[in-house]
Amino acid sequence: IQEPQLQGQDTGMQCEDDRTGIGVETLKRAFLDNLFYVQGKFPALATKHDYYMALAYTVRDRLLQRWVNTAAIYTQEGSRTVAYLSAEFLMGPHLGNNLINLGIYNQVQQAMTELKLDLKELLAKEEEPGLGNGGLGRLAACYLDSLASLEIPTLGYGIRYEFGIFDQLIRNGWQVEKTDKWLRYGNPWEIARPEWAVSVKFGGRTEAHKNAQGRYRVRWIPHKVVLGIPYDTPILGYKVNTANTLRLWKAEAPESFDFEAFNRGNYYGAVDQKVTSENLTKVLYPNDETYEGKQLRLEQQYFFVSCALQDMLRIMLRQKLPLEQFHEKFAVQLNDTHPAIAVAELMRLLLDEHEMDWEPAWEITQKTFGYTNHTLLPEALEKWSLKLFSSLLPRHLEIIYEINWRFLEQVRHKFGTDEGRIGRLSLIDENDGKFVRMAHLACVGSHKINGVAALHSELLQKTTLLDFYEFFPEKFTNITNGVTPRRWIVLSNPKLTNLITSCIGDNWIKHLEDVQRIETYAEDPGFQQEWQQIKRENKVNVAEILLDRTGVKVDPDSLFDIQVKRIHQYKRQHLNILHAITLYNQIKQNPNLDITPRTLIFAGKAAPGYYIAKLIIKLINSVAEVVNKDRDIGDRLKVVFLPDYNVKNSQPIYPAADLSEQISTAGKEASGTGNMKFAMNGALTIGTLDGANIEIRNAVGAENFFLFGLTTEDVGALRLTGYRPREYYEQNPQLKQAIDQIASGYFSHGDRSLFKPLVDLLLDKDPFMLMADYQPYIDCQQQVSQTYRDRDRWLQMSILNTARMGKFSSDRAIREYCQQIWKVQPVPVQLAAEKTGDG
């Protein structure tokens, strides 16, 4: 791996500091020192995990000077800062990424080798910090990497869940969930900051009181108080000295409450209070894009938002900035509606705690927030019953009523008394019970609202948020998602990284648009040969992983056809399985069929309460069982489900793909980001015109993309004219055979009831239109198979895909957020050595 030159370090010097030096000898000494003084072990007794910890601390030492300097400069300059509020941060393992961004991967590898240790093995020891479900949480992580790399002052604010997303086991083909005890062996990347703890109130009631100036203010008398303790993790940028902070909050019981109970002699009551408080940040809700109206979830949301805003106010007071400048100091981004309560909380803090008047407080609030929407799925729209909301956040409900009253006055002023429109825009849903609509609160309280791909932003304006678009069109914008090339190319695919860098230098890692320069090699036989060789080695690696974790042996020379993402009906893993069954039947009918051998790889978690998604996992495994052991099939078709998909397990996957499955029903996938990771690593995409697929296809060229299926307009039109899925089934013998096999127990040891719910759903309702898209998908897959046989053509397409993915770097996305929404500038950080000019 080509590495950045560290600044301010004299690696040639003998006397490097043990905490900062990056020479191989220094690293070895520091590592053994940490093994002894942090882990309390010497090599003869040390476990692999001890070695991992010693290395993690060695790397952390090297982050700390940058982290402290960064904080010092931001404080000194009172820098304008992005606060990214997100209920999820799916960071992935830190060690490898920090080695890349510090530019010491090679030295550390050598140091470990000289100590007779294998860096890869130590990297594998890191527990996945799985504090997110899927796309939304991983996007937040890519954005933190880009913000630091672009030297933008940033605080990520979220929740330190004690248990992240569950570990997935597959038992008898079914998903089984296991608690994710990621903190069990300690977390070397975080530092607790109890000195910055804050109190968060819940429940109770409000009352009016007169302040010192004799003016009426509102006071909130809570039913309970919980302490928020911040835990900080440094987020280092690539080739820069900027180390920003991810600040995650843990809930604890305040001492004073313990005391009260204790003094009454109620020791158990006191301890009970502690347990209840700590439940708040115990576990991540494992639903992806489905809201569950649970009280604890609303408590989590309010808890971390209140902690974050109080923390920002503390920072302002420490820097002696007047609160009137809140929106000048902080640009606060709401990652979907999970933190939308921030709008009401900032108002409460300014009005009640800092005695500001409504108008200036509201102006500050609106100028502070931006809101990103991540899905159009109706089941994801958060709405809280008034009963629950008022019992937990009585003061916030009063504030929301006031915001709503003033907002609807403006609506009446603009549109007259159009009661239908007013009902649709209101922050309170009164259609069927009464609810607070969090997306409406986010829209009214923000100055910018964005979708995450061009189509998604367009649909937001035309459908879900149409009324808001008509009221304030100037607030709406699009920022297409991106992913960080540091984790998703440099760390995941070192061989490809070296090949690209050997041709065009390493500037592309910071400026992915530059990777375009490999286009000139797209038809170069020598380059193609190396490209193919690297892909093959990456496939051999995944074949070994599959054998190890599933016992299935796959052929690295077959076409690796991969779909990895959360399991959802709209993502249509079951359409992919219908293709698998079709291929299987074709071979069975014609045992000598000369088809392109394929390995179909699936991975992904289903929400524990999402029955149909779990049944889809069972179906994949059931089809795999039949296909993989059929001697007639041999190496021509394999189906594998890799358990426990997470960031760590995904890193080898993207570099090993020939074909990337992006087959959601048009109009349903807001953007997708896996689609970008695959294409950057040279996979070709088979996909619908959905989300960012459309922009990826435009970038790589229609001739380098396998397109099929209904468009968003087709989907809408077909629904209107009356969609009859059963007709497709009856008129298509291949499709009929596949469905009949599922229904008849062919894949379930004769059990006809097992998949009945899925089959009935497809034939009667088919909400995601698999039946309509089936034949176009099969035909397109046939084209894929044919193209794969033309080795040179495939390689050229693969190279062009990587070459043309520049736009999909999260650096580009973050630059757009900075310019269009946050209006924030880079603040470069120097190491002390650079400032003084000596070592």
Nearer CB in complex with ligand 6GP: 288/429: 288
What is the per-residue binding string for ligand 6GP in 465-484, x denoting contact by CB under 6 A? ----------------x---
Does 813 interact with ligand 6GP (rule: CB under 6 A)? no
Q: 378 vs 837, which CB is nearer to ligand 6GP?
A: 378
Does position 571 bind ligand 6GP by CB under 6 A?
no
Q: Which residues contact 821 (CB under 8 A, 6 or more apart)?
A: 331, 333, 370, 448, 450, 477, 479
Cα–Cα dist 727/772, whole Å: 9
Contact 366, 446 (CB under 8 A): yes
Residue, CB closest to ligand 6GP = 135
Q: Least CB distance from residue 457 to ligand 6GP, whole Å? A: 11
- Give bridge partners of residue 208 from the DSSP assignment: 218
Answer yes or no: are the C-beta atoms of 250 and 300 closer than 8 Å.
no
Catalytic annotation on 239? no
Work out which of 97, 446, 582, 673 binds ligand 6GP, going by CB under 6 A.
673
Print the binding letters for residues 425-454 with ligand 6GP: x by CB under 6 A, - otherwise.
---------------------------x--
Sheet holding 383-385, edge to edge: 383-385, 435-437, 428-429
Q: Is 677 a catalytic residue?
A: yes
- Whose Cβ is closer to ligand 6GP: residue 126's or residue 336's? 336
Whole-angstrom CA distances from 100 to 14, 96, 727 are 24, 6, 54
Residue type at position 434: K
The three-class DSSP label of residue 283 is: strand
Smallest distance, ligand 6GP to C-beta of residue 670, A: 4
Of 597, 628, 618, 708, nearest to 663 by C-alpha is 708
Nearer to ligand 6GP, 372 or 622 (CB): 372
| Sites for ligand 6GP among residues 87-146 (CB under 6 A) | 134-136, 139
State the catalytic residue, choosing from 242, 673, 712, 802.
Answer: 673
Listed in order, strand segments (DSSP E) in 649-710 are: 659-662, 684-687, 706-707
Residue 565: active-site member: yes
DSSP E strands in 392-518: the ranges are: 428-429, 435-437, 446-451, 476-478
Cβ 108 to ligand 6GP shortest distance, Å: 32
By CB under 6 A, residue 69 contacts ligand 6GP: no
Does the footprint of ligand 6GP cover residue 672 (CB under 6 A)? yes
Q: Residue 403 Cβ, how far from ligand 6GP at the closest point, in Å?
A: 23
Instruction: Tell me whether residue 665 is one of the annotated catalytic residues.
Output: no
Instruction: Determine the Cα angle at 270 with ends 265 and 275, to 5°.
Output: 160
* 573 CB burial (10 A radius; 0-12, 13-18, 19+): buried
**Stretch 678-697 residues interacting with ligand 6GP (CB under 6 A):** 691
**How far, in Å, are 15, 178, 815 from residue 457 at the CA level?**
56, 37, 18
Scanning 194-202, 247-255, 484-492, 671-679 for contacts with ligand 6GP by CB under 6 A, the matching segment is 671-679
* Strands (E) located in 532-675: 559-564, 598-603, 637-641, 659-662
CB of 132 to ligand 6GP, least distance (A): 8
Element at 125 (helix H, strand E) = none
Q: What are phi and psi of 434, to 5 degrees?
A: -115, 135
Stretch of 47-55, 58-66, 647-655, 669-677 lying at the interface with ligand 6GP (CB under 6 A): 669-677
Q: Which member of 374, 456, 475, 605 is catalytic?
A: 374
Regarding 289 and contact with ligand 6GP (CB under 6 A), the answer is: yes
- Report the Cα 339 to chain-centroid distance in Å: 16
> Which residues, numbered 360-389, are part of the site for ligand 6GP (CB under 6 A)?
374-375, 380
Contact call for residues 560 and 659 (beta carbons, < 8 A): yes
- Establish whether 618 is a catalytic residue: no
Query: Which residue of the set 396, 440, 456, 565 is catalytic?
Result: 565
The one catalytic residue in 138, 677, 804, 812 is 677
Stretch that binds ligand 6GP, among 96-104, 162-170, 667-675, 713-721 (CB under 6 A): 667-675
- Cα separation, 586 vs 637, in Å, equals 11
Token pair of 672 as six digits:
């997708």
CB of 605 vs ligand 6GP, minimal distance in Å: 12
The catalytically annotated residue of 62, 348, 475, 566 is 566
Count of residues of this chain found to bind ligand 6GP when the rule CB under 6 A is applied: 18
**Structural contact between residues 607 and 287, judged by C-beta atoms closer than 8 angstroms:** yes
Return all residues near 596 (Cβ < 8 A) that are at least 6 apart: 558, 559, 784, 785, 786, 788, 789
Per-residue binder mask for ligand 6GP (CB under 6 A), 324-343, x = binder: ------------x-------
Confirm whether 553 is a catalytic residue: no
> Which one of 128, 180, 232, 288 is in contact with ligand 6GP (CB under 6 A)?
288
Residue 824 near ligand 6GP by CB under 6 A: no
Site string for ligand 6GP, 775-794 (x = CB under 6 A): --------------------
> Per the residue annotation, which of 125, 486, 571, 579 is the catalytic one?
571
Residue 798 interacts with ligand 6GP (CB under 6 A)?
no
Taking the complex as a whole, how short is the minimal distance between the CB of residue 649 and ligand 6GP, in angstroms? Answer: 18
Which tokens hold the place of 733? 């013998």
Q: What is the dihedral of CA 748, 750, 751, 757, to 10 degrees?
A: 70
Contacts with ligand 6GP, residue ranges (CB under 6 A): 134-136, 139, 288-289, 336, 374-375, 380, 452, 481, 669-673, 691
Catalogue the active-site residues. 374, 565-566, 571, 673, 677
